Amino acid sequence: MSTSSTPSHKNLPQKVRLVEVGPRDGLQNEPEDNLTTQFKIELIDQLSRSGLKQIEVASFVSPKWVPQMADSAEVLDKITRRSGISYAALTPNHKGVQAAIQGKADQVAVFSAASEEFTQRNINCSIAESLQRFESAIAIAKQHNLPVRGYISTVVGCPYSGDINPEQVASVCRDLFDMGCYEISLGDTVGIGTPLKVKRMLEAVARYVPITQLAMHFHDTYGQALANIYAGLEESVTVIDTSIAGLGGCPYAHGASGNVATEDVLYMLDGLGIETGVDLDSLVKVSHWLCQELNRPNGSKVSLAYSSETIDI
């Protein structure tokens, strides 16, 4: 399936890096009964064959809080690693980073939020305390030459405290960057952002952190994710987090629906002539397989639109 029209629009980036978060951000939200370790491994191995260069495959958090990710060490151990792909793990603290090192993750990601209330509910501490925890977590990662990514949730709105001031996002973002995160992923966790809000937030953040060091992590609750991503592309952001089949939500943000679907984003980027190195046909096949395995409707309109022409199911 080819939807390319080159060259890309003159005001948009030529190239974008997709960060696939489905095996972590997506599956952490599925009922545990649907998830076997073998299924996760199969999903990651299929994604690895699609041209993606970065896949978040594990999460070393408390299994009491997120039991879906309790087998992360085994997943990291048993996937078939392809050269050129960075397999990442989400880590809330020093203990998580140690487990990720033990499991030979290629990089780790720490996570906080722009909202105090969300941070309390998600990781049981204040924003300041979360940053303090990250100091030792980042230090040990650096000792082992592991790149550290940072996430900030609720960058345009919080399910508990409402609107978020872009300056608050900028402040947390600057702290994470100064602490040594190579890239900060900005999460519209509840998916309530609209393009203008996203642009204002990015403008505030970009005063402190280079735009080349930022990523967009948008959820699609109100169908705004692609429009928001386009707005971010216009601001020159070149990294996008996506989740195969639109899996996801957030266990600590009730009402939030899935992450933006990888295949929807890729379809748009291909159409804009923006290079990603990822193959849409392969992803659509993975998406169909995944939805069948999880016994859920297809999460992406792209897969539905093309299924009769290209997919053997």
Catalytic residue of the set 173, 181, 250, 291: 250
Does position 187 interact with ligand HMG (CB under 6 A)? The reply is yes
User: In this chain, which stretch among 38-46, 121-129, 162-170, 171-179 interacts with ligand HMG, using CB under 6 A?
Assistant: 121-129
**Residues 6 or more apart whose Cβ sits within 8 Å of residue 154:** 113, 114, 115, 118, 164, 187, 188, 189, 190, 253
| Among Mg ion, ligand HMG, none, partner that 151 touches (CB below 5 to 8 angstroms by kind) | ligand HMG
Place of tokens 């602490």: 179
| Among ligand HMG, Mg ion, none, partner that 54 touches (CB below 5 to 8 angstroms by kind) | none
Q: For residue 139, give the nearest of 105, 80, 180, 101 by alpha carbon.
A: 180
Does position 220 interact with Mg ion (CB under 5 A)? The reply is no
Q: What is the SS3 assignment for 24?
A: helix
Contacting ligand HMG (CB under 6 A), which of 87, 111, 134, 177? 111
- Check if the beta carbon of residue 195 is closer than 8 Å to that of residue 231: yes
Nearer to ligand HMG, 14 or 135 (CB): 135
Q: Which amino acid is at 209?
A: V
Within positions 82 to 101, which residues make up the interface with ligand HMG, using CB under 6 A?
A: 92-93, 95-96
Question: Can you tell me the distance from the alpha carbon of 285 to that of 51, in angstroms, rounded to the nearest whole number?
Answer: 13
Does position 158 interact with ligand HMG (CB under 6 A)? The reply is no
Nearer to ligand HMG, 210 or 251 (CB): 251
Within positions 20 to 79, which residues make up the interface with Mg ion, using CB under 5 A?
A: 25
Please provide residue 309's backbone torsions phi and psi, each rounded to the nearest 5 degrees.
Answer: -80, -35
Considering just the CA atoms, what is the radius of gyration of the chain in Å? 18
**Catalytic residue annotation:** 250
